[in-house]
Amino acid sequence: MHKESLTKWLVFKQMRHEGGFQGRTGKLVDSCYSYWQAAVFSLLNMIDENSHGDTVGHLPLYDPGALSNYLLVCCQDFHGGLKDKPGKNRDYYHTCYALSGLAVSQEDGAVDAGGTKLAVINPSLQHQL
């Protein structure tokens, strides 16, 4: 596995101005990538923990607060649900992955001003109690 190359690529997919992730170079930020990209950081941390023993914690290589703000400010629909970006309509697909990305960002340290915290999501699909 080319962990360093993957990590570098992921780091540069979070857009500084918007705070969300783009899927490919030159594409606009899309809320579904909040999960698809941020969850990979969690998976890489799990690999490190499994191969090097327990760690005392990790600092995310992305900005979970900026990601959370993008999702909550730019992607919420006033009638419920989430959309991929401002100007688009809400849909189930983007609601699912935007909420999943929000849960990952909260696990990595993002704090919602309203105090709402989503349940932890384990991107490796392992059930943990």
Tell me if 63 is assigned to some domain.
yes
Tell me if 75 is assigned to some domain.
yes
Tell me if 114 is assigned to some domain.
no
pLDDT at residue number 54: 53
pLDDT in tens, the chain (129 residues): 588 899 999 999 999 999 999 998 899 999 999 999 999 988 888 887 776 655 445 667 899 999 999 999 999 999 999 999 999 999 999 999 999 999 999 988 887 766 778 888 878 765 444
- Helix (H) / strand (E) element for 104: namely helix 92-107
The reported pTM is 0.84
CB-CB contact of 24 with 40 (8 Å) = no
Q: Please tell me the total count of domains within the chain.
A: 1
Question: Across-strand partners of 14?
Answer: 21
Tell me if 115 is assigned to some domain.
no
Q: Which domain holds residue 62?
A: 3-107
Tell me if 65 is assigned to some domain.
yes
Tell me if 123 is assigned to some domain.
no
